[in-house]
Amino acid sequence: MSAPTVEAAINDLLDWAWQAVEELLGKRGLLGAGLVVEDYTGIMSWLERATRYTVVHSPSVAVLFVDTFPVDAILFHRDLLGSDDPKSYFTLQPRT
């Protein structure tokens, strides 16, 4: 992906779920000075069966999306990027 494509994907995902992401970051104590989309510069996404997992991250926070819904947020660390199972760093709640 080129940089503009990565930026567009991050912006689309965060903009679509803005309130849910902000609420999730607040619950996890990771909101800081607020949700600044421009701080999020990395994205990784993969498909498992019919489910799309996406991690969007800034230098300090990573947010896991299942399909297009944010499900968890953690402090970002580089081990996440090289992991065979990035979603294992997050807490996945059973879907209802």
* DSSP letters spanning 31-83: -TT---GGG--EEEEEEETTEEEEEEE-SSEEEEEETTEEEEEEE--GGGTT-
Dihedral of alpha carbons 14, 90, 44, 42, sign: positive
* Residues making up the chain, counted from first to last: 96
Determine the pLDDT at residue 3: 65
Position 71 scores a pLDDT of 95
The pLDDT of residue 15 is 84
How, if at all, do strands 51-57 and 69-75 pair? Answer: unpaired
d(CA 28, CA 59): 16
Q: pLDDT by residue for the chain (96 residues), tens digit each?
A: 456 788 888 888 888 888 899 999 999 999 876 678 888 889 999 999 999 999 999 999 999 999 999 999 999 988 998 899 999 999 987 655
